A and B are shown apart, each in its own frame.
Chain A
Amino acid sequence: MKEITLTINDKEVKGKEGDTVLDVCRANDIYVPTLCHLEGLSSVGACRLCVVEIEGERRINPACTYPARDGMVVKTTSEQLEGYRRMILELIFSERNHFCMFCAQSGDCELQDLAYRYQMDHVRFPYAFPSLPVDTLNDYLVLDHNRCILCGRCVRVCSEVVGTHTLDFGKRGWRTVVCADLDQPLGESSCISCGACVQACPTGAIFSKVSAYKGRTSECQEIESVCSQCGVGCEIKVLVRDNNLVRIDGADITGLRGQLCPRGRFDPLNETRSRITTPFKRDGKGELEECSINEALDLVVKKIKEIKGSYGPGAIAGIATTKCSNDSLERFNRLFRDVIGSDRVDTLDGDSYRVIAKGIASFNGKGLEIECPMEEILEADCIMVVGADPLESHPVLGSYILRAVTKHGAELIVIEPLRNSFAYRANLWLRPEEGTESDLIKGLAHLIADKGLGDLKKAKGDFGKAIEDYDAQKVSKGSGVRADDLELAAEVYGRAKRGVIVYGEGIASESIASLLNLAALTGNSTKNGLRVISLKPNGNSRGAWELGIASRDGFSVDGVKGAYLLLADDAIEDEKLVAQLREMEFLVVQSSYHFPVTSMADVVLPSHIWAERKGQYKALDGGLRKSRRVLKPGKGIKEDSSIITGLMKRLQEKGGK
């Protein structure tokens, strides 16, 4: 990009063509106050605090929207400018309720900071005292119009970053307010509670219920880590005070993976489950009693040996959550497969793995490495979402899709029998009868091949033959999807230059194989694979699956007498599995929180929560993420990996194999 030279405050500085005056100032460390500007969002010049004097201009202009030009002479500070800035602040203060003493954001407020900077010790204008409502209906967010300065940062972050565009301005003139959808309460709107607006808000107009009044940024330690709640692996900045969570921010709100979602931003601060802080073992009367970690591990080792002796190693099963880091999971796998000698090992999301693995294997006999990076979505011109509601299951990935749609008009095709928050945002929603989506995908492949938009030679195996019968009329009849919708979907995906397929847990292996073939025959391939991404259920699903923990050929606890459940801070929802665990002769549960399943256990081992873990995770697209320890674990609560290592050592020492 061409370099340009400007004179700012009598100093020669460099900028790039296309920069605004503000960009050049920021790049050269020249202070210009702003409120409505947020790096990474579009500039609108709403607050006017960044006004500067530009030589040759009759009036002052906002730096954030004024294009920098070669040879431009700019002044960012003068008596006149500072006077205007102070006046703008006074006008803002007089417009609504900006009394700081009871505001949740006092001490963390950009408006307040500027008032201090400009030594605004009084206001020359009468206050308007408008009576505006406060919207508290959302589970996590409070929208207090009285604190709002109408800078529009929330509106822009909601549309430009999150892509849901729930927030916008309503009403006119001085009555203007930020509103959700058609002036719905936030809690009843299309808001996904991702909290990007909270982080973008310069004042206390939108704040989080779970962080309010817990502490100011200046009183907290800031620790950068990654979120392990889902497989997107967003980058987080955690604010901690006295070993308590105060707030979780996206590390870079407008950057990649900095947006966050309610599960990453708010839920961890809303934890109400009761924590397990010591090991427990069942005493003579059958009650769980506290014990030392050594007592607990000794009992586990004794029981494992007994069961192995009586029934063989296959009578011992291990089931792990995929929330844990690679390190713990790798050891867990070794404990069973190498030390105990049992191949009855699985993850709680093992069923999802088997469906996906089978689908990919039947396509080309390979594994997850065929999938593309998440960032492909942002560049896509067509996104086909099959059997998933990414806004619900992986909200930030869902945002990537919406961003591609709003930013450069990518076409969004949703194939989903049930109505969900994503389907109604689609350009084309194909709604097959349940159980017919596999036929529908084959029908699309057939149509694409027919139209010459794909090359069946690029498909694997006999896919070309397999789809021969799936002509539009037949598929339409079987699936209940109109034939012209099928045609349209085939045209749009077939003609896309960068079509990305995203599929969820709702679809069968056969459909997965068909989707991969669809991507292959339309040439939607990347250097290493295809533009296809599967949504995996947990934070480290991919890491666990690649470690080979989940049994590929099915898993059952039939004939199992002793089980070890590594639950960590996950919850167990599979009631059938819980019922099976109840029948075990011996059950070990390693969990951060008390659950019905822990009260069933013979030995309970404590476990770290996400914030206490440090380690590596694999994002759903295979990207490596490293998490840092954010909170110090309670005394005596050891790392999962060291507990597992302790077991391995004991078993090996005393001839466990």
Chain B
Amino acid sequence: MAKTKVATVWLDACAGCHMSFLDIDEAIIELAGLVEFTRSPITDIKEFTPVDVGIVEGAVGNEDEEEVVKKLRENCKILMAWGDCACFGGIVSMRNLFEKEEVLRRCYVESESTGKGKIPSSKDIPPLLDKVKRVDEVVKVDCYVPGCPPSAKAIKYALEELLAGRIPILPSEVMRFD
């Protein structure tokens, strides 16, 4: 049987969800026999190729992330959101309480550890969106694994459901928002 192709992306988030994925311990060996990772922060492959499952960690905070998540959507059959940032907006969306300019100024100019600060600007740095969006505000999401980060158990449950051909909905006892 052909391996299930999976791509994962890490957007506006802390990488905790990917860390939690690696926490599934020995199950990863079995999984490696069933799944092929293409583009992912783990494989460090940058190009998008068509996959069965696309996985998103993080919310959408800048123009690059918006493009990445759209490309992933185009290239996958099922899109799964990992973690509170992707599912709900999470911590990274707390900047939505302020204007973008205020956030940049506070971060790069006014922060206590900054001497002579300057808001960076370069064509290589993707501009921030006015507001952080959760993934389903940008593209259609098929299934959600909330948690900050989702537990290894939740991630394993969701992957196993997908491999069994079902759209996962986390049972209450596995679902956590923290």
Give the interface of A toward B (CB within 8 A). Answer: 93, 97, 99-103, 106-107, 112, 115-117, 119, 121-123, 126-127, 129, 131
B96 adjacent to A127 (CB under 8 Å): yes
**CB-based nearest B residue for A100:** B177
Whether a CB of chain A sits under 8 angstroms from the CB of B171 is: yes
Could you jot down 7 A-B contacts, CB within 8 Å?
Answer: A93-B88, A100-B84, A107-B178, A112-B177, A121-B143, A122-B136, A122-B144
Q: Which residues of A contact B170 (CB under 8 A)?
A: 119, 121
A97 adjacent to B84 (CB under 8 Å): no
Number of B residues with CB within 8 Å of any CB on chain A: 31
B84 adjacent to A121 (CB under 8 Å): no
B94 adjacent to A97 (CB under 8 Å): yes
In the complex, which of the residues A101, A107, A116 contacts B172, with contact meaning CB atoms closer than 8 Å? Answer: A116
A127 adjacent to B145 (CB under 8 Å): no
- The A-contacting residues of B in range 137-157, CB under 8 angstroms, are 137, 141, 143-146, 148
Give the interface of B toward A (CB within 8 A). Answer: 81, 84, 87-91, 93-94, 96-98, 131, 134, 136-137, 141, 143-146, 148, 169-173, 175-178
Between B87, B171, B178, the greatest number of chain A beta carbons within 10 A of the residue's beta carbon is seen for B178
A127 adjacent to B93 (CB under 8 Å): yes
How distant is B105 from chain A, measured CB to nearest CB, in Å? Answer: 17
Q: Which residues of A contact B171 (CB under 8 A)?
A: 119
A101 adjacent to B93 (CB under 8 Å): no
Q: Which residues of B contact A103 (CB under 8 A)?
A: 178
C-alpha spacing A85/B70, complex, angstroms = 32
Q: Which residues of B contact A100 (CB under 8 A)?
A: 84, 148, 177-178
How distant is A414 from chain B, measured CB to nearest CB, in Å? Answer: 46
How distant is B83 from chain A, measured CB to nearest CB, in Å? Answer: 10
Q: Which residues of B contact A102 (CB under 8 A)?
A: 91
Q: Which residues of A contact B91 (CB under 8 A)?
A: 99, 101-102
How distant is A125 from chain B, measured CB to nearest CB, in Å? Answer: 11
**CB-based nearest B residue for A101:** B148
C-alpha spacing A93/B77, complex, angstroms = 29
B175 adjacent to A121 (CB under 8 Å): yes
B146 adjacent to A121 (CB under 8 Å): yes
How distant is B79 from chain A, measured CB to nearest CB, in Å? Answer: 12
C-alpha spacing A112/B172, complex, angstroms = 11
Q: Which residues of B contact A117 (CB under 8 A)?
A: 172
Q: Which residues of A contact B81 (CB under 8 A)?
A: 122
**CB-based nearest B residue for A132:** B97
**CB-based nearest B residue for A114:** B172
A99 adjacent to B175 (CB under 8 Å): no
Q: Which residues of A contact B131 (CB under 8 A)?
A: 129
Between B131, B145, B177, B178, the greatest number of chain A beta carbons within 10 A of the residue's beta carbon is seen for B177
B172 adjacent to A122 (CB under 8 Å): no
**CB-based nearest A residue for B89:** A127
**CB-based nearest A residue for B95:** A129
Q: Which residues of B contact A107 (CB under 8 A)?
A: 178
| A122 and B88 contact, Cβ closer than 8 Å, known pairs A101-B178, A106-B177, A107-B178 | yes
Q: Which residues of A contact B148 (CB under 8 A)?
A: 100-101
Q: Which residues of A contact B143 (CB under 8 A)?
A: 121
Q: Which residues of A contact B172 (CB under 8 A)?
A: 116-117, 119
Interchain residue pairs A-B with the least CB separation, the first 6 = A121-B144, A101-B148, A100-B177, A129-B96, A106-B178, A100-B178
**CB-based nearest A residue for B133:** A126
C-alpha spacing A654/B87, complex, angstroms = 78
A99 adjacent to B89 (CB under 8 Å): yes
How distant is A147 from chain B, measured CB to nearest CB, in Å? Answer: 13
Q: Which residues of A contact B94 (CB under 8 A)?
A: 97, 99
Q: Which residues of A contact B97 (CB under 8 A)?
A: 129, 131
C-alpha spacing A131/B97, complex, angstroms = 6
C-alpha spacing A99/B59, complex, angstroms = 14
C-alpha spacing A78/B39, complex, angstroms = 43
C-alpha spacing A595/B141, complex, angstroms = 64
Q: Which residues of B contact A127 (CB under 8 A)?
A: 88-89, 93, 96
How distant is A160 from chain B, measured CB to nearest CB, in Å? Answer: 32
C-alpha spacing A115/B169, complex, angstroms = 13
C-alpha spacing A206/B27, complex, angstroms = 42
How distant is B17 from chain A, measured CB to nearest CB, in Å? Answer: 12
B137 adjacent to A126 (CB under 8 Å): yes
B144 adjacent to A99 (CB under 8 Å): no
In the complex, which of the residues A106, A116, A121, A131 contacts B87, with contact meaning CB atoms closer than 8 Å? Answer: A121
Q: Which residues of A contact B84 (CB under 8 A)?
A: 99-101
**CB-based nearest A residue for B81:** A122
A116 adjacent to B178 (CB under 8 Å): no
In the complex, which of the residues B93, B146, B178 contacts A129, with contact meaning CB atoms closer than 8 Å? Answer: B93
**CB-based nearest A residue for B90:** A99
In the complex, which of the residues A101, A121, A123 contacts B169, with contact meaning CB atoms closer than 8 Å? Answer: A121
Between A101, A103, A126, the greatest number of chain B beta carbons within 10 A of the residue's beta carbon is seen for A101
C-alpha spacing A600/B131, complex, angstroms = 65
Between B81, B171, B172, the greatest number of chain A beta carbons within 10 A of the residue's beta carbon is seen for B172
Q: Which residues of B contact A115 (CB under 8 A)?
A: 177
C-alpha spacing A121/B97, complex, angstroms = 23
Q: Which residues of A contact B176 (CB under 8 A)?
A: 116
